[in-house]
Amino acid sequence: MESPFLSVVLNTARPGFTMHGRKDVHHFNQTLQSLAAQTYRNFELIISDTIYDIRGFDWSKVGYPGYSVFHVPVTHSLSKNMGYSSISATKNNGIMFSSGKMLFFLDDCSELPSNLLDIIVREYQTKKVFTNAMFIKKIGNELNGRDCRWDILERAGVDSLTNKTDVYGYMSFSMDAALKIGAFDEILDHGRQLDDVDIGKRLVLAGYKIAINKQAFVYEQEHSNESFCGEKGITFKTDIKCNGPIVYLKYERRRGEDRIKANHRGFTGEEIGLLRPCYKLAGETCVASGRGCCMIQNKAAYMQHPDCDIYIANPPIFNLANERQIRLSQKNNYRVK
């Protein structure tokens, strides 16, 4: 069977979905249905699920005509095994199971306009750009705000911009690019986000073009934090480190190929010494101060938690291409439809 051109990766760790305005809707339904309505059809859906082993969901009750669905577990992540939600590892796991030449990432609270996949594929094939979809927030059927990149386009007076590195989660890039840069950096797991910012910077450093435009967006349903953990007895540990110093260190201190690759080596003793004492990296200004810093009980989270010691001593080091070949050989075991 010929592989699809596009793999849609939906990363999830959410046991339930307390949506504001849609509390009785299962959190996969609207995404599956909006994918079924896409005008572009040559795609597959990979649901990369951190809580795969306890996902009590009857797939036979959900309709998903016209495309293949694979529901896959995350098995390679130390961070996940330590009890964290592990966004980077869950996304990388989705890549490992993907057969497409192109990748597009979704959160589990999203609804796609019917032409979105068509735009993403067309923009790549005609302009060689990786479209990063913007989002509009919704509560039920009511609009409830949008992300700040709409303002960037409006201030510039244009419908699209290229080589913006301020990417968010609804991003696309080629499989070749993922393999070249090592995809998402899993050292950022169990920390304050920045996985999307990090990979956007590395893609541009590696010579790829990222684009935003007004035609490419998703609707994101507002949801409460309680829907992320606590239901069915599932609780993830609170993020315990600030990722700002790691991102800063990589782009200000590392050089060459070492700057664009992820999951290929750990930290040197000198780098660990810079990370440990303070998020300002021994007096320098942190690029992720303010909103980017992880706060626990109103105190900045540095690299001083015992779990950080374990993680820094055992960093995620692996070859994405090799791991992908292993997962692809197992893929049909996880086919839903």
**DSSP letters spanning 11-46:** EE--SS--BTT-TTS-TTHHHHHHHHT-S---EEEE
pLDDT, tens only, 282-296: 444 444 444 445 544
Given the DSSP bridges, would you call strands 209-213 and 129-131 parallel, antiparallel or unpaired?
Answer: parallel
Q: What is the pLDDT of residue 233?
A: 55
Taken in order 185, 186, 188, 189, the sign of the CA dihedral is positive
Per residue, the 3-state secondary structure of 171-202, as one string, reads CEEEHHHHHHHCCCCHHHCCCCCCHHHHHHHH
Q: Which residues contact 205 (CB under 8 A, 6 or more apart)?
A: 259, 260
Q: What is the pLDDT of residue 61?
A: 64
pLDDT, tens only, 100-151: 999 999 987 789 999 999 999 999 999 999 999 999 988 877 878 888 889 9
Q: What is the pLDDT of residue 238?
A: 77
Q: Of the candidates 73, 89, 70, which has an alpha carbon nearest to the alpha carbon of residue 4?
A: 70
List of domains in the chain: 6-234+318-334 (3.90.550.10), 244-313 (no CATH)
Question: Which DSSP letter does residue 5 get?
Answer: S
Rounded-to-integer distance, Cα 208 and Cα 189, Å:
24
Rounded-to-integer distance, Cα 119 and Cα 115, Å:
6
Burial zone of 248 (CB within 10 Å; 0-12 exposed, 13-18 middle, 19+ buried): buried
pLDDT, tens only, 226-270: 444 434 556 788 777 777 778 878 887 888 889 999 999 998 888
Angle at 311 between CA 309 and CA 312, to 5 degrees: 65
Q: Find residue 335's DSSP bridge partners.
A: 70
